[in-house]
Amino acid sequence: MKLMTLDLWLLLNTRLIVNFLTKTFSSLIQILSIMALGAGVLIAYTLVHVKIDVSMYPEEHPYGKVVKSSDDELIGIGMTSTESNLLLERELASLKNQALNIEMSLIKMKNQYKDLSNIALSSRKDQDLPDFASEAAGGAVLDTPDTESYHEPYHQQITFFGIPIWEAGYFTPRKVIQPWTQAGECWAFRGSSGKILLKLAHAAHIDKVTLEHIPVSASLTGSINSAPRDFSIHTIIEHTLQRLDSFTYDINGQPSQTFVLKDKKVKMYSIETILLEIQSNWGHPDFTCIYRFRVHGKIASHQKNDPGLEIGEEK
């Protein structure tokens, strides 16, 4: 009887121990089973797809033969010699394209730097000359005879019940005698011809004038056909409008171009007002832009001009 009881107790405790161990290690057994299955799949895939070329070892090596130095006989893992060559060719072509793109970018940057350097040098050269038309020095815009400023009302002015109460200052004629720093900071007038009358900061004997426009590289459209082309300057002498000289602005030249008055007798006049007349532009059908106009010379004493002197053509 005692032996039977002992057997029953052992069976019961053994079952409890087995149940405890099964519950405890079931998760670990599942993980190990999944890992074993994954390892088996990986080994099967490697045996099917991976080819190892024994030629990468030297001839005396127990695993293969000597590798030849030619690139044509380089064989990678899992690909043939032809596939390796095609891959190398594609990589070389990609590197060549990248090198070409970098070279083009460097050329473009060099050209832009050259344009900026030319602008800076040209502006510095012109700034070395006194500007009697500069608003900062006391110059002023008196009138724009028969000329209408060009602007887009909905984008460049503020209205109150249809009445304009503010418009962008850099579209006014005053911009002609003010500094500019970027494209669009100019006075634009409708059409290809227009006039602007300026009062100089001081009476002067003038000998040069400067007209400015942005370069092609700074234009958003890649064109500067709104730049002035043919223009002339005039002054009032003895209540008569006299032409001093005529010039042509070259859009293929420097952004800032200085013109020397050809008539030497002009220097003998004490000039206080200048009329700039734009007679044509470089092809824009709607408007013409003037970025800056400068008047150079030497300050004059306030003496009356000799009415006997004649310059240019009387208008």
Residues 143 and 255 in one domain: yes
User: Considering the domain boundaries, does residue 48 fall inside one?
Assistant: no
Collect all residues with Cβ–Cβ distance below 8 Å to 99 and sequence separation of at least 6.
none
106 and 177 fall within a common domain: no
Shared domain check, 256 and 144: yes
165 and 274 belong to one structural domain = yes
Q: Is the pLDDT of residue 52 over 60?
A: no
> Is 222 in the same domain as 98?
no
Rounded Cα distance, 16 and 303, in Å: 128
Evaluate whether residue 54 is within a structural domain. no
Clarify whether residues 141 and 272 are in a common domain: yes
pLDDT at 181 over 80: yes
Q: Domain containing 162: what range?
A: 131-299
Query: Do 158 and 94 belong together in one domain?
Result: no
Matching residue, tokens 């038309």: 133
Q: List pLDDT tens digits, range 115-146.
A: 666 665 655 555 689 999 999 999 999 999 99
Asked if pLDDT for residue 56 goes beyond 70, the answer is no
Output 189 or 267, whichever has higher pLDDT: 189
106 and 147 together in one domain: no
Examine the domain organization and report whether 143 and 95 are in the same domain: no
Q: Identify the pLDDT of residue 303.
A: 56
Within the chain, strands assigned E span: 140-143, 157-160, 163-167, 187-190, 194-212, 230-237, 240-248, 256-260, 271-278, 287-290, 292-299
The residue out of 97, 113, 128 marking a domain boundary is: 128
Q: Looking at the structure, do residues 102 and 206 belong to the same domain, yes or no?
A: no
Query: How many domains are contained in the chain?
Result: 2
Whole-model pTM over 0.75: no
The per-residue pLDDT for 237 is 84
**Residue 243 sits in the same domain as residue 257:** yes
Q: Is residue 121 part of a domain?
A: yes
Higher-confidence residue: 177 or 268?
177
Tell whether 8 is covered by a domain: no
151-177 per-position pLDDT tens digit: 765 556 666 677 766 665 557 899 999
**Is residue 268 located within the same domain as residue 163?**
yes
Residue 13 pLDDT > 80, yes or no? no
pLDDT digits (tens, 9 = 90+) for 65-107: 444 444 444 444 555 678 778 888 888 888 888 888 888 888 8
- CATH code of the domain containing 190: 2.60.120.260
The mean per-residue pLDDT over the stretch 106-114 comes to 76
260 occurs within a structural domain: yes
Contact by Cβ (8 Å): 307, 240 = no
Flag the least confident range among 68-77, 89-98, 209-218, 222-231. Answer: 68-77
